[in-house]
Amino acid sequence: MKAAAGGQDYSAVDFFYKYGLYMVFVALIAVFTALNATFISAANIVNLLQQSSSASIAATGMVCVMLTGGIDLTIGSIIYLSAAVVVMMTNAGLGILPALVVSIGIGAAVGVINGVMIARFKLVPIIVTLAMMFIVRGLTMALTEIKMQYFMNPVGDFIARYRVFGILPVIVIAMAVVVIAGQLTLKYTAFGRHLYAIGNNPVAARKSGIALDLKTFITYVISGSLAGLAGLIGGAQVGGVTTTYGSGQEFLVISACVLGGVSLFGGKGKVLPGAFIGVLIVMSIENGLVMVNANVYLYTVVRGIIIFLAVMVDCMRNKSDLR
């Protein structure tokens, strides 16, 4: 079909790349509402936003990394470590503000290690973060002695249950602040523009004077920091952590980002609405499956299908752009 102006040709595939995300989201809402009318209720919408908070915060950091052409597989393990440490420290008397600082600081520390290995020593991101994923999870298991950790203090209850004006959960507000700040940073700051430049053409970016190594390093620190915050929020929501907490979360976040139009090849994507809508789609599917009483083992199958489709669509989109 023809564009409204300019006479440029647009295929159905191009149309799907541009609007398919929203079409899929609307279709999901329609299907699950038809199966269970309460899916579209105000209570469930708020519940869905709460369920999406941790992943959306982590996805904001992941977008920054992916824009440079990198990947961060440590976020699931950071979420586990952050939540475990905060549970132990708050149970020992730590308040909410120190807990916030500790959770972000833990993630930032892991991000610094990732950033140094990747930006300074030029190691492959997927190898570095894969190794750190196992290291961090192993250290957390040693720290907790492979025991379940539960919030037994007011901090967990406040994060999970407090609602501003009795309506909006505080974790949804935290998610909104992070997501909006992330998108504004990418769209309106030199730092954001530099990340797109690095992902599109790192050689040209370096020649134009962009501090490629420094910016790459910062993205991993941001990703780690936000994963640490996601760990605090997610841990409070479930009331504690088990040895499997956060496991596989990195793949859920990456697939949500790619569904939202963030390219695995770098240089393309947005936090809002892109990655955020991607998270909502993934969480809507899981929420909807619960509401229709689907087989619990189906969730893992669906996650696998989502990851496969996300990667396939991104590869097709990248080939189309190259043409």
Compute the distance between CA of residue 176 and CA of residue 56 in angstroms, rounded to an integer.
9
Looking at residue 10, its pLDDT comes to 58
* Selection from 8, 60, 37 nearest residue 279 by Cα: 60
**Band (319; pLDDT cuts 50, 70, 90):** low
Interval 88-108: pLDDT, tens: 999 999 899 999 999 999 999
Percentage of the residues of the chain whose pLDDT score is greater than 70 = 93
Confidence of residue 2 (pLDDT cuts 50, 70, 90): very low
Q: What is the pLDDT of residue 277?
A: 92
pLDDT greater at residue 298 or residue 238: 238
pLDDT per position as a tens digit, 163-187? 988 888 999 999 999 999 999 999 9
Longest dimension (CA), the chain: 67
Are the beta carbons of 104 and 225 closer than 8 angstroms?
yes
183-194 tens-digit pLDDT: 999 999 999 999
Record the pTM.
0.91
Count helices and strands in the chain by DSSP H and E runs: 13, 4
CA atoms of 195 and 135, how far apart (whole Å): 28
Reported as a single tens digit per residue, the pLDDT across 7-19 is: 445 577 677 667 7
CA distance 43 to 197: 42
Spatial separation of the C-alpha atoms in residues 306 and 313, rounded to whole Å: 10
Map out the domains of the chain as residue ranges: 41-246
Beta-strand runs (E) in 165-313: 168-169, 240-241
